[in-house]
Chain A
């Protein structure tokens, strides 16, 4: 079958980007948006066709072989290492194509309404198309360098979109922070790529994943600080992934990234770009599993679990609704990482891998829905703070219902989407180690609590007076909400019972049967219900219970509210030490020592010449005197020597 048309999936948004960027930016509303939407719609259709053909036509025998649809040499590094660009189709990349194009299309549609009247409307769609192109290029990457290429491009699109309101100082700071923190992580990623490619002599994913355990062991026979070099390289690559996916302690950029327009938060900082780290680990999963007996996976599991827990704790205390959702995103991505980290390889042991991808899939829908609904709320209330909200269910009926459905989905209530994927993750964690299960279980409770804290606080709590009466958003905004709500409700159910994920997306390609362990599921359902109940108790009606509870936690609450002061630590290290001491010190060294010594040489030359120029006075008597004195002195020396 000819797959070469798949190259158009990323190219259509690229063409959209070029058209809007060069000619369409200044056109009147809504033409730039329509150009962008046309591009992404084309990509959406092609992705769906590809998914259908890949899963149901070509691989009807359930083998799911990876297919290199297109591959071309882009740049030669050396005789062994080539930088190729291509399209790799395998279960996870095809799934990602569907996720990215779906969410991106809906976000484009939503933005048509949300960004109406903004002077940067054309610019917004330019960047959005650039992002979509980059993200699609990332998921279809055939090799490490291609993924790095698009990895940087999504980073810069994210930078441009976070700083979209470029006259706002907080947006400038947030965009800088996001770029620099992820860049710092990418520095490790790049070194990881260099290490891996140096020892395996390839960038190609299929070759890397196809290497047997013994081949990997011999390629990575050099050891570095107790780890084989390949394990080191994979760890470094994971650091890059952790930066992009906002894992602790590289998460500090994500909450600030909420300065961007809300549709951007929904697309980039909830559904697509932030899961790139998870995708990277999944992409190289066979290699992660086989190098050094999966030592790197245990690091990943630990990072995932701790990020998940820390983020959930912080989320319960934040007041800005977008920041709550940001920490929620971080927490859910922590789940995905944990799930990959605890996963085995063959058959049912590969559940963690499957569960991670499943959760990525469902999370994309309900989290982008939550963000878009939050955007609708902010659009109506003109504030991000939940203290400025309350009783909105009457004013925003569609937003209210969709937000509720998404909250139920993320809280893991049966039969909403989150239940199935989260249950699979907890199941996988339980197979690996009970500790991870209990952490995940506790986080599930926190998730239900903070989500319903938001829900009750925004839509119930009190019927307050608004300065401008809030009104429901236009159809371009509510239709995407309704579509995503539908997906949030059914995507778990469908992909568990009808087209089970375990059949289509597994580490080895072999299918296994997914089932629900009702003991574990019951436990997680129970804690979710408890979480919802506590939230109801505290936030259903206006009261001061929340404050009391906060006070009773004392220091812990304060720490969590201030995000455990991690930002402050970073600021101290970068501002005070790196740029205060190192940078200023080197600048002093440059002007005083390096340049100073050059000036010293220059000045000394000048002074010396001033000093000796007096000898050349131009007066005859001085010269005669010098001749006489010289002759006498020479004569004295000669006489002294002769008479010795």
Chain B
């Protein structure tokens, strides 16, 4: 079987298997096995990919599989992958695997919980390998819909409101996106006279400028809603605050990346002139959102809200980098997708561990946790340092590529917004250190917290998986940057005039 198809089949089989499980223990063990297999398959994919590249295969996309799905509409199940996709799959696999362990103690409706969680993951895997826009859109919706159920049933706080808000806003984005996809489809022409959704064929066509000008905003904003594009980000704080731990991890860690990845691989890649035309507009919007998210995070007191606004800032940086149109900045954008995915999943995982013990997320109701929960607290500090871009951790690698890449674009407006975006490194330090100072340091604030249970083995698995990836990426970035840069070559051709 094609290795890429396998990545969709394993989650599908896991879901099927889950239906027949009894009790929470069976469900979680089966999920762990399924996602463990998925993780192994991903590592095998990485190995195969580098072996193929090492053997001199210079095709842009590898492991191609193309099956006709709807013949009359020329819709195909077409999957293939390049280096960027491989890295995104790796990210998804790590976060999903960690997510299963973070949900180890979900005891109500465990079976159903894991079914929806893995369905979400399956959608994400499918999205990253799809080469046919229709197939991609199907996977996209498979990833987005389970969120409603997961938040609405297993969430906390005003979960119905949050679930509804998140789903409706994302559906709004999907609607815009669908308009753009159909626009692309009906304006495509192939040799056989049929329209096509196939991205590899579409990328060879040149759409007229008037078309691009009209449809680019639909596609970019449509994906951008999921990528927390300012001002369409407000689903994210509420949604994350209400979502259960693993869902926040998966959602902020990988699902939001679907937005920025799609904005890059679909909207910008297929409509480069439209992208350039709207560059300044989106530059201002995204550059502002970087500093905006950081400043709002400074005032928030709920851990999940702080992290959600921190995400607005960090994800804003991805879209900001895309508006620079330089190879280094694009590399940085992809790196930031991976880095933010790992960091935010780590944060949400840790917040879940803390919340599970103290039953509060208000930082001022806690304090001095360092003494009580040394492992979790120390990990929180390291994750915080990664978030503020400490060298040796993943955030630094991504941010420096973005900043150097941003500076390569000499337009005055780009320079001004680069400086604004870079200044966020200071504000980020403020809100991260504030949380560390209030939550972890200091004397124990609430005496009820004196005997909180120590870190458990499955929590250690979450920490080791994610922290290992963050440190690995931060200390050995060369193979990642080179993989991305190789895969960017065909994309850069679109932006050289």
Chain A residues with a Cβ under 8 A of chain B: 73-78, 81, 83, 145, 148-150, 152-153, 156, 159, 163, 166-167, 169, 172-173, 175-176, 179-180, 183-184, 186-187, 190-191, 194-195, 197-198, 579, 582-584, 586-587, 590, 594-595, 598, 602
Q: B168 at interface (Cβ–Cβ under 8 A)?
A: yes
B contact patch SS: helix
**In the complex, what distance in Å separates the CA atom of A166 from the CA atom of B440?**
9
Per-residue interface assignment for chain B, residues 175 to 190, with 1 indicating a CB less than 8 Å from any chain A CB and 0 otherwise:
0000000000000000
Nearest chain A residue, comparing its CB with the CB of B484: A76
Nearest chain B residue, comparing its CB with the CB of A145: B400
Q: List 11 A-B contacts (CB under 8 A).
A: A75-B477, A75-B478, A78-B404, A78-B405, A81-B328, A152-B390, A152-B391, A167-B368, A190-B425, A587-B299, A594-B230
B295, A582: Cβ atoms closer than 8 Å = yes
Q: Which residues from B are CB-within-8-Å of A145?
A: 400
A166, B296: Cβ atoms closer than 8 Å = no
**In the complex, what distance in Å separates the CA atom of A566 from the CA atom of B313?**
31
A187, B296: Cβ atoms closer than 8 Å = no
A153, B430: Cβ atoms closer than 8 Å = no
**In the complex, what distance in Å separates the CA atom of A605 from the CA atom of B425?**
40
Q: Which residues from B are CB-within-8-Å of A78?
A: 326-328, 404-405, 408
A contact patch SS: helix
B390, A153: Cβ atoms closer than 8 Å = yes
Per-residue interface assignment for chain B, residues 110 to 132, with 1 indicating a CB less than 8 Å from any chain A CB and 0 otherwise:
00000000000000000000000
B441, A167: Cβ atoms closer than 8 Å = yes
B296, A172: Cβ atoms closer than 8 Å = no
Q: B213 at interface (Cβ–Cβ under 8 A)?
A: no
Q: B148 at interface (Cβ–Cβ under 8 A)?
A: no
Q: Which residues from B are CB-within-8-Å of A587?
A: 295-296, 299-300
A180, B429: Cβ atoms closer than 8 Å = yes
**In the complex, what distance in Å separates the CA atom of A198 from the CA atom of B410?**
9
Q: B41 at interface (Cβ–Cβ under 8 A)?
A: no
CB distance from B106 to the nearest CB of A (A): 29
A191-B422, A595-B234 are known contacts; what are 5 more A-B pairs with Cβ within 8 Å? A78-B326, A78-B404, A579-B298, A579-B430, A594-B234
Q: Which residues from B are CB-within-8-Å of A83?
A: 400
**Which one, A77, A166, A191, contacts B441 given CB within 8 A?**
A166
Q: B73 at interface (Cβ–Cβ under 8 A)?
A: no
Q: Which residues from A are CB-within-8-Å of B235?
A: 598
Per-residue interface assignment for chain B, residues 293 to 332, with 1 indicating a CB less than 8 Å from any chain A CB and 0 otherwise:
0011011100000000000000000000000001110000
**Quick one: given A167-B442, A172-B442, are A76 and B426 in contact (CB under 8 Å)?**
no
A586, B234: Cβ atoms closer than 8 Å = no
A583, B404: Cβ atoms closer than 8 Å = no
Nearest chain A residue, comparing its CB with the CB of B300: A587
Nearest chain B residue, comparing its CB with the CB of A183: B429
B425, A156: Cβ atoms closer than 8 Å = no
**In the complex, what distance in Å separates the CA atom of A195 from the CA atom of B477?**
23
**In the complex, what distance in Å separates the CA atom of A409 from the CA atom of B397?**
44
Q: Which residues from A are CB-within-8-Å of B327?
A: 78
Q: Which residues from B are CB-within-8-Å of A586?
A: 292, 295-296
CB distance from A86 to the nearest CB of B (A): 14
Per-residue interface assignment for chain B, residues 420 to 444, with 1 indicating a CB less than 8 Å from any chain A CB and 0 otherwise:
0011011001100110010011110
**In the complex, what distance in Å separates the CA atom of A172 from the CA atom of B423?**
23
Q: Which residues from A are CB-within-8-Å of B441?
A: 163, 166-167, 172
CB distance from A260 to the nearest CB of B (A): 14
In B149-191, which residues have CB < 8 Å from any A CB? 165, 168-169
Q: Which residues from B are CB-within-8-Å of A73?
A: 478
**Which one, B403, B443, B477, contacts A74 given CB within 8 A?**
B477
A183, B404: Cβ atoms closer than 8 Å = no
Q: B61 at interface (Cβ–Cβ under 8 A)?
A: no
CB distance from B58 to the nearest CB of A (A): 18
Q: Which residues from B are CB-within-8-Å of A595?
A: 234
Q: B449 at interface (Cβ–Cβ under 8 A)?
A: no
**In the complex, what distance in Å separates the CA atom of A195 from the CA atom of B230?**
29
CB distance from A235 to the nearest CB of B (A): 15
**In the complex, what distance in Å separates the CA atom of A172 from the CA atom of B370?**
13
Per-residue interface assignment for chain B, residues 461 to 497, with 1 indicating a CB less than 8 Å from any chain A CB and 0 otherwise:
0000000000000000110011001000000000000
**Quick one: given A167-B443, A180-B426, A586-B295, are A194 and B404 in contact (CB under 8 Å)?**
yes
Per-residue interface assignment for chain B, residues 36 to 73, with 1 indicating a CB less than 8 Å from any chain A CB and 0 otherwise:
00000000000000000000000000000000000000
**In the complex, what distance in Å separates the CA atom of A179 from the CA atom of B405?**
26
Q: Which residues from B are CB-within-8-Å of A594?
A: 230-231, 233-234
**Which one, B231, B299, B443, contacts A579 given CB within 8 A?**
B299
B298, A583: Cβ atoms closer than 8 Å = yes
A598, B485: Cβ atoms closer than 8 Å = no
**In the complex, what distance in Å separates the CA atom of A40 from the CA atom of B165?**
57
**In the complex, what distance in Å separates the CA atom of A97 from the CA atom of B482?**
33
**In the complex, what distance in Å separates the CA atom of A590 from the CA atom of B401?**
29
Nearest chain B residue, comparing its CB with the CB of A166: B441
Q: Which residues from B are CB-within-8-Å of A153?
A: 390-392
Q: Which residues from B are CB-within-8-Å of A191?
A: 419, 422
A583, B390: Cβ atoms closer than 8 Å = no
Nearest chain A residue, comparing its CB with the CB of B326: A78
A583, B403: Cβ atoms closer than 8 Å = no
**In the complex, what distance in Å separates the CA atom of A176 from the CA atom of B18?**
48
CB distance from A124 to the nearest CB of B (A): 15
Q: Which residues from A are CB-within-8-Å of B80?
A: none
B292, A77: Cβ atoms closer than 8 Å = no
CB distance from A219 to the nearest CB of B (A): 14
